[in-house]
Amino acid sequence: MPTFQGCMTALVTPFRAGAVDTRALAELVEAQIAGGVHALVPCGSTGEAATLTHEEHVEIVRHVVQVARGRVPVIAGTGSNSTAEAIRLTRGAEEVGADGALLISPYYNRPTQEGIFRHYAAVAEATRLPLIVYNIPGRTASNITPETLGRLSRVRNIVGVKEASGSLAQVIEIIAAAGPEFAVYSGDDILALPIMAAGGAGVIAVTSNIAPRDFADLAAALLAGDLARGRALMHRLLPLVQAMGLEVNPIPVKTALALMGRCAEEFRLPLTCMSAPARQKLEGVLREYDLV
């Protein structure tokens, strides 16, 4: 059985007056756990990790671990395009009690497949935490091939991949190359159904920030092999999932949470508040879903 499975929420980072809003973050964590999600993932792309200081990064993970109190695993985003920095962030997350770490593939540098392998192998050597590779070529400008993931799957504490290449063929090839103990998680909410139907172990989701119960039920149904229920839930969630793509993540999901009264509508540059036309569309979808 995979180390982690089900619906894992990629948490937003609430800000207020320029600082991390720890009260809003704690309330968000409680709402996620009450909604039945299977794990929490702070400090990823959805959590605006690129604009957090190292101190904020570690303190956010510490806070989420303390609020969660072992009720669900906490998988800290600790990736960087610098291997040394990724090691430092991962060790920091380990020290404050995280249960695992999610590491984006090195961005901007555009390393070779050998460089990608050595990057993750070096982080794995430096920590005891279970590690999840994050493959998102649209943000990193490089793709981790199924062959490289097959190699990484044989590193003792690399346990899975958050796969956001958008290619179902690649997902199937990864499962074949890495074997059944290596978990493949959907990194795109819209592909949770087909990826899990193909053998994926779960989804690291954005939309579950605002609809935790339905997304948790979707993942649970698919893990149980109940495709009929999974399809029904995915069709119900579809307008919400599509609305999360109205502008670049995490602008729509944080705006939605603000409209729901869960956090301030505050971003760190270069992210900005949602444009008026997109915001109007988002509000309409939230009303249809009875979230506002």
Residue 274 above 90 pLDDT?
A: yes
Q: Looking at the domain assignment, is residue 265 inside a domain?
A: no
How do residues 42-86 score in pLDDT, each as one tens digit?
Answer: 999 999 999 999 999 999 999 999 999 999 999 999 999 999 999
Known active-site residue 254? no
* Active-site hit among 134, 185, 254, 281: 134
What percentage of residues in the chain have a pLDDT greater than 70?
99
Average pLDDT along the chain: 97
Domain for residue 248, yes or no? no
Structural domain count of the chain:
1
Domain interval for residue 63? 6-236
Q: What percent of the chain has pLDDT over 90?
A: 98
Task: Name the DSSP class of 199.
Answer: T
Q: Measuring CA to CA, which residue among 12, 25, 89, 20 is closest to residue 58?
A: 89
Interval 79-135: pLDDT, tens: 999 999 999 999 999 999 999 999 999 999 999 999 999 999 999 999 999 999 999
Angle at 43 between CA 41 and CA 45, to 5 degrees: 95
Beta bridge partners of 161: 133, 184
pLDDT confidence bin for 1, thresholds 50/70/90: low
Distance CA 241, CA 246 (A): 10
Residue 281 catalytic? Answer: no
Predicted confidence (pLDDT) per residue in 155-193, tens digit: 999 999 999 999 999 999 999 999 889 999 999 999 999
pLDDT of residue 134: 98
Residue 38: per-residue pLDDT:
98
Q: Look at residue 183 and tell me if it is in a domain.
A: yes
What pLDDT is attached to residue 3?
80
Q: Is residue 202 part of a domain?
A: yes
Tens of pLDDT along 131-142? 999 999 999 999
Q: Nearest 5°: phi and psi at 249? A: -65, 140
What is the pLDDT at residue 2? Answer: 65
Task: HSE, CB side, 13 Å, CA atoms: give it for residue 272.
Answer: 4
Q: Which of 107, 108, 120, 162 is catalytic?
A: 162
Residue-wise pLDDT tens digits, 240-267: 999 999 999 999 999 999 999 999 999 9
CATH number for 74? 3.20.20.70
Q: Does any domain span residue 288?
A: no
